[in-house]
Structure 1
Amino acid sequence: MDLKTAVFNAARDGKLRLLQKLLENKDGHEVTKLMGDKTNGATPLLMASRYGHLDLVEYLLECCSAPVEVGGSVNFDGETIEGAPPLWAASAAGHLKVVQSLLGHGASVNSTTLTNSTPLRAACFDGNTALHDCAESGSLEIMRMLLQFGASMEQDGYGMTPLLSASVTGHTNIVDDLTTHQQTSPTERIDALELLGATFVDKKRDLLGALKYWKRAMDLRHLDSHCIVCKPEPKQLIMAYDYAREVTNGEELDGLISDPDEMRMQALLIRERILGPQHPDTSYYIRYRGAVYADSGNFERCINLWKYALDMQQSNLDR
């Protein structure tokens, strides 16, 4: 491995002592050249900033005279961002202390990527609103403050409201609060509770907790003994889900407690209906359930689920 690649890897991986050792006998001209060179399209400072290595960032700036504005290529969620300055990368990754350090060393808040995205825009990299961030982190008090001052519950790029985001991440305090909020419709309350139940099955592995939230949702569907918000009829039953269909009444729901495997299929059905096949969590938990079947020796169920997830992802790519 050549020196340039070794320096790049050390910066990316946060290995300060290794970096210091690599540079200890190099003259200033050589160090300056290494700081400006790019490996895989990025400088050492850009990589250290992207991954939040504060000690390395400060060492590169103060001891190696790393150029604070030189942009390069960084990857976020499978997407390559070209011409991203170190400040943009740190902002997009949410590394506040690195952002503060870069600003203290003269980084410009107006430096942009090749597509003219600013560091401020990078701080909101997923199009998430502040309410989404609160929902995903469980920050109930901040969320209440934002709502008090007029924040509205918008959808993100996947059509997710903050309430649904809280259901996916399993923050029950947020779900309990937002399901009583005036901005939340009855259908949104039901979807959130059913999705939270699916999260309890697959993420928290709490089947009794899942049943509790599914029962709350079922009660909302059947106020005054009438089906106020009925579940949609499935277009077709899915072989990978063992041809399961969603339960539609309290008696069927109560029967799930004796069939944990059926509960797991219910979670997959609910998640696909509410999130849709485009949301990455939908295919992720199908693959996850297949892996669980493989671990228990049920390879046929595993293969069926994995093939279904693969077809779903391929269909998304073809859109």
Structure 2
Amino acid sequence: MNNPEIYLNRTYDESNKQKCTLLMIACLNEFEDIVQILLNYSGVDLEVLNDIQLEERDESLLMYENVTVLWAAVAIDNVNIVKLLIEHGAKINHTTKTNSTAFRCACSNGNMNIARYLNKNGANIHIAKIHNETNLILTVYNEDLKMVTYLVDELGCDVNESMDNGCSPLYFAVDRGSFELVQFLLNHGARNFRSNHDQMSPLLLAAEKRRIDLVDAISPQCSLLEKIEAHELLGSAFACGEHGSYNLEQSFEYFYRALELRFQHNLPKVLRLSTVEVFDNRQECQTIDELKKLQLNDNHMYIEALLVRERLLGSTNTKYRRSLQYHGAALADNAEHYRGIEFWLYELNLRRQYSLSIDMEDLRQWASMFSDMLRNSLSIPIVSWQTIITVVIEELEHHTKDFDYNLHTLLFLITIVSQMLSKSMISYDDRKLFYRHIHSIIQRQYVTQTYRSSLLHLSLSNHTSANDYFIDFICKYPSLHTVHLLIQCGADVNARDAVQNTPLHIFVSQSTIVDNTIIQYLFDAGSHADYVNALRETPIDIATNSNIKQFIRTKTKLSLKCLCARLIQKNSILCHGKIANSLINFVEKH
């Protein structure tokens, strides 16, 4: 064969977007004899970059890009192929797209034999993955004490080398909850310092996780102030239900210890200068007497915990903000919806103040909260609704990733208002305010990215659902009240989706119940019963109910303009250049 290296060194497109050389295919299938045969060709290139998929521990498949056959051989734990490749000159320190090496693969798999072999043959043990994720950090994360011991005791890896975000091996040992690893790293000089990631040190992280044993293990390496703050955070963690069953007795105990130490060593807390209404305008306790006054009041103890968390973790910390959300939800579950809303609004305003990302599920939870309130015949604070609507619109305007999900959330919020309006739960001035907001939303002409469905399309579809008990209890579609409100605020009743269906098409094609009120609303607002979709079907053509078909026929009064348009379309008369451009679009809809 002439130029066999052309075939040997090219990559072949495999299933699942894999790109592999013949040598890589043989390696992944562990055909050692074929690997040996291919290596005997002098022209074979061991450094060709491949894209391969490997099965993870959870049995999912993950794509790895720019990997060499040596990297793959280590990844599948085949020591014989690894040795063959090294003996034939494979580059041992090649890095993948994410800067992973063959040695890192061996560490990840916990394969001590391959790791030792690679090290003996010149592997650079200090090459870290992107973001400076060292091999030691990886093995700590995997809770592999044997490999950690090898890296530290035999290879001398630095126990304090951190990732770019400041997370150290000790931080990850605490995060994984391994007492053995924490003790090992401390015995080898690991230090307690805060990460840039969440401003938490390993000691604070242990306290946050309620791991008293880890707090006790790390504390001797820390300053007195760090120990005090660990006690305070432990106290706050025991008061917070999101960490498990709350224990206010232990919470009080650790707050008490911290205050004792502060008093003994003259280390007063540095408190914020102003108070916040959501925290009842309270400041943290500075004395044991102040703390004792809170002991028998669960709500006051929880407020104390939140104030402590805000001081120690910071207003932007995810764990602190989750505590605010959890407390708000707990209050709502206890039928204290208005108080719960205050905490949720405070948390949401922190995100907006510090330009933090807003999760689509968090916005959806607002619709769930409001729905639960309506279910219990409670009025929804207008300011709260306005705030959430504003935030949802901001997300729709600036982020496309979760666009359709957020657009559905917007629909649910509008439906909630339509229900309030129908029950006369709103004053005249507030009604005008709602109408103004919804008119503004309609003017933006939002449509889903998937099917180009408008809010009116969605409100008429029985496929529209939130898969949330409270929302689905209140927001049932098709929704007469929502349709009425959207039309009142200027929704286009003849808007087209991706397959040219109008809102009327959507409703009649899915409706099995004879409810002519919605159809009448659409007709009164100018809906055309003779508009066709992409399959040249009118609403009558696709109506699933004979009574609805008959109702549409009796209500359809075609204008001369519509009749002319249908005649042009029926006879395929070319009209471009013969009628005004403004009429061409009208004709094409018939």
Q: Same fold (TM over 0.5)?
A: yes
Distance 1:177 1:122 in 2: 20
1:245 shift after superposition: 1.8
Aligned residue in 1 for 2:292: 254
> Which residue does 1:10 correspond to in 2?
none
Instruction: Map 1:132-143; keep pairs closer than 5 Å.
Output: 132-143=171-182
- The match for 1:45 among 23, 40, 53 is 53
Distance 1:191 1:118 in 2: 28
1:150 deviates by: 1.9
Residue aligning to 1:77? none
List aligned pairs for 1:1-319, cutoff 5 A: 32-36=14-18, 45=53, 48-49=55-56, 52-54=57-59, 83-84=97-98, 96-97=108-109, 120=135, 123=138, 127-157=166-196, 158-179=198-219, 181=220, 183-202=221-240, 203-204=243-244, 205-223=246-264, 228-317=266-355
Task: Please give the alpha-carbon distance, in whole angstroms, between the structure 1 residues aligned to 2:252 and 2:279.
Answer: 19
Does the C-alpha gap of structure 1 residues 235 and 164 become closer, same or farther in structure 2, counting only changes over 3 Å? same
Q: Assess, with a 3 A threshold, how the Cα gap between structure 1 residues 275 and 68 changes in structure 2: closer, same or farther.
A: same
- 1:232–1:86: structure 2 CA closer, same or farther, 3 Å change rule? closer
Residue 315 of structure 1 aligns with an amino acid whose one-letter code is Q
Q: CA deviation at 1:302?
A: 1.2
Aligned residues of 1:244 and 1:262 also touching (Cα < 8 A)? no
Q: Is the 8 A contact 1:85 1:112 kept in 2?
A: yes
Contact 1:286 1:306 in 2 (8 A): yes
Cα distance in 2 for residues equivalent to 1:35 and 1:121: 32
Q: Which residue identity does 2:316 align to in structure 1?
A: Q
The answer (yes or no) to whether the contact 1:45–1:68 under 8 Å persists in 2 is no
Amino acid at match of 1:144: Q
Amino acid at match of 1:132: Y
Amino acid at match of 1:45: Q
Please tell me the residue identity of whatever aligns with 1:53: D
Q: Residue 154 and residue 112 in structure 1: after superposition, are their counterparts in 2 closer, same or farther (change >3 A)?
A: closer
- Measured in 2, the distance between the counterparts of 1:84 and 1:138 equals 27
Letter paired with 2:256: K
5+ long unaligned stretches in structure 2: 1-11, 20-50, 63-68, 74-95, 116-122, 139-161, 358-590
Q: Which amino acid counterpart does residue 16 of structure 2 have in structure 1?
A: L
SS at match of 2:53: helix
Distance 1:222 1:122, change over 3 A: closer
CA distance in 2, matches of 1:119, 1:57: 23
Change (3 A) 1:119 1:189: closer
SS of aligned partner of 1:150? coil
- Counterpart of 1:253 in 2: which secondary structure? helix
Question: Is the contact made by 1:268 and 1:282 (CA closer than 8 Å) also made in structure 2?
Answer: yes
Contact 2:309–2:320 (8 Å) recurs in 1: yes
Query: Deviation string for 1:225-255 (max 9, x for gaps)?
Result: xx61112233111111122221111122122
Give the CA deviation at 1:44.
8.5
Q: 1:156 to 1:198 in 2, by over 3 A?
A: same
Deviation at 1:222, TM superposition (A): 1.3
SS state at 1:233 partner: coil
Is this contact kept in 2: 1:45–1:86, CA < 8 A? Answer: no
| Alpha-carbon offset, residue 289 of structure 1 | 0.6
Q: Are the aligned partners of 2:166 and 2:194 in contact in 1 as well (CA < 8 Å)? A: no
Over residues 177-209 of structure 1, what are the superposed CA-to-partner deviations in whole Å (9 max), with x where a residue is unaligned? 333x1x322211111100011001102401101
- Cα distance in structure 1, aligned partners of 2:135 and 2:324: 36
Unmatched 5+ residue regions in structure 1? 1-29, 38-42, 59-64, 70-81
| Structure with greater proportional helix content | 1
- Cα distance in 2 for partners of 1:170, 1:297 equals 29
CA–CA distance in 2 between the matches of 1:31 and 1:68?
17
Residue 168 of structure 1: how far off its partner (Å): 1.0
**Whole-Å separation in 2 of the counterparts to 1:57 and 1:213:** 46
Give the TM-score taking structure 2 as reference length.
0.37
Q: How far off its partner does 1:137 sit? A: 3.4
Shift of 1:318: 6.6
Cα distance, 1:119–1:255 mapped onto 2, change above 3 Å: closer
Report how many residues are paired.
Answer: 250
Classify the secondary structure of the residue corresponding to 2:316. coil
- Contact kept, 8 Å, 2:166 with 2:195, in 1: the verdict is yes
The whole-number CA distance in structure 1 between the counterparts of 2:286 and 2:308 is: 12
By relative contact order (CA 8 Å, sep 6+), the higher-ranking structure is 1
CA RMSD of aligned residues (A): 3.9
Is 2:234–2:251's contact at 8 Å kept on the other side of the alignment? Answer: yes
Give the stretch that moved more between structures: 294-303 or 154-163. 154-163
- Contact 1:109 1:119 (C-alpha < 8 Å) held by counterparts: no
| Residue aligned with 1:251, SS | helix
Give yes or no for contact 1:287–1:309 (8 Å, CA) kept in 2. yes
The structure that has the greater radius of gyration is: 2
**Structure 2 residue matching 1:45: 3-state secondary structure:** strand
The Cα of 1:118 is off from its aligned counterpart by 7.0
Using the TM superposition, name which of 159-168 and 190-199 deviates more. 159-168
Deviation, 1:291, is: 0.6
